[in-house]
Amino acid sequence: MPELPEAETIARGLRRTVVGERIRHTDVVHADVLREKARSFRASLRGRRIEAVERRGKNVVLRLDRARVLLVNLGMTGRLLPFGTPPPSTDRPTHPALRFLFESGGLLVFDDQRRFGAVECLEEAAWAERSARLGPEPLSRSFTARRLASDLVRSRSPIRSWLLDQRRIAGVGNIYANEALHLAGVHPQRAAADVEPAEAVRLHRALRRVLRAAIDDGGTTIRDYRNAEGRSGAYARRLRVYGRAGEPCDACGTGIERVVFGNRSAFFCPECQPKGG
C-alpha cells in the first residue's frame, strides 16, 4: 500500500512529465473513484493546465490553474501513469479508472485494480482546509523531536496506531511505522504517552531515516511511478521487520514476531523492542 515514499516517488516522476500539460477531456471509466458526479468532475477539469505536482501525506496533489487542485489518494493499488502518446495495446494500463487526455496528445491514466483510491477536483481553499487537518510532514523542518515528544504524551493509543493516524503525523503507514519502531527500539504496542523523551528522540530520527532511505530507493511496493502494483521497489530488500515474522533480527538474531492489533499486523523484535512494564 502506497505510503509517503511511494507517493513522493510518483509525484517526482509526474513533475518531470505532466507539468505544463492542459487537460482537453477526462474519460471516466469507473466513477466509483470519484467523490462527485462524473459530469461535474469532467466539466471542472476541462481546459485546466497542470501547474505543479506536490505531495501531502500519502496524497499526490496536482495544482491546476484557476485555483483548482486535483487530489489523488492512491488507496491500495492506485497508480498514475503518464504517456506522451496513447500507448500501444501491449503497454496499456490494465485497470484504468480515469484517463486525462491532454491537448498535446499525451495522457495521464489513473489505474486502480482494487479501486480503494479516490480522485477529487477541489477549490484551492477547500484543499488548504483539508490539508490543515492532517498532521505534520515527518520530513519537514517543523516536525521536531520536541514536537513529537509533546504530541505523544497526550495519547494512550499504542504507538504503532498513533503513527498510522494521519491527523497526528502525515504519510506514515504500516510498513514504515514498523520499520521506524524497530530502528528506535520501541515496542509497537507501547502506549504513546509512555514513550520516554529519549525514545521519542530516537523515534523521530528513525522515522526520518527510514522515510528518506525509502524515497532514495523509490519506495517498497513500487520502484517508480510506472511500475505495476506488487512489484517490489528497492527498499523491499532493506526491510528490518515488516513481513519478516520468524526470520532472525538483523541486529541481534532473535526471531521476529508478529502480533495483530488495530486490524493490522505489527512486526517487532522482542529483544530489541522490549514491551516494558
**Which residues would be at the binding site for Zn ion (CB under 5 A)?**
249, 251-252, 254, 269, 271-272
Pick 114 or 275: Cβ nearer Zn ion: 275
Rounded CA-CA distance 16/198 in Å is: 41
Please report how close the Cβ of residue 219 comes to Zn ion at its closest, in angstroms: 25
Pick 152 or 241: Cβ nearer Zn ion: 241
Please report how close the Cβ of residue 254 comes to Zn ion at its closest, in angstroms: 5
Please report how close the Cβ of residue 246 comes to Zn ion at its closest, in angstroms: 13
Of these residues, 130, 205, 238, 264, which one is catalytic? 264
Pick 151 or 257: Cβ nearer Zn ion: 257
Please report how close the Cβ of residue 247 comes to Zn ion at its closest, in angstroms: 11
Q: How far is CA 249 from the centre of its chain?
A: 26
* Per-residue cell: 138: 515527518
Please report how close the Cβ of residue 206 comes to Zn ion at its closest, in angstroms: 14
Opening angle at CA 63, ends 58 and 69, nearest 5: 75
Of these residues, 2, 5, 82, 188, which one is catalytic? 2
- Respond yes or no: is residue 58 known to be catalytic: yes
Pick 200 or 269: Cβ nearer Zn ion: 269
Please report how close the Cβ of residue 253 comes to Zn ion at its closest, in angstroms: 7
Pick 224 or 257: Cβ nearer Zn ion: 257
Pick 67 or 252: Cβ nearer Zn ion: 252
Of these residues, 55, 56, 58, 79, which one is catalytic? 58
- Respond yes or no: is residue 93 known to be catalytic: no
- Respond yes or no: is residue 39 known to be catalytic: no
- Respond yes or no: is residue 124 known to be catalytic: no
Write a three-state SS string for the chain: CCCHHHHHHHHHHHHHHCCCCEEEEEEECCHHHECCCHHHHHHHHCCCEEEEEEEECCEEEEEECCCEEEEEECCCCEEEEEECCCCCHHHCCCCEEEEEEECCCCEEEEEECCCCCEEEEEEHHHHHHHHHCCCCCCCCCCCCHHHHHHHHCCCCCEHHHHHHCCCCCCCCCHHHHHHHHHHHCCCCCCEHHHCCHHHHHHHHHHHHHHHHHHHHCCCCCCCCCCCCCCCCCHHHHHCCCCCCCCCECCCCCCECEEEEECCEEEEECCCCCCCCC
C-beta of residue 61 within 8 angstroms of C-beta of residue 19: no
Task: Give the residue numbers annotated as catalytic, written as ranges.
Answer: 2-3, 58, 264
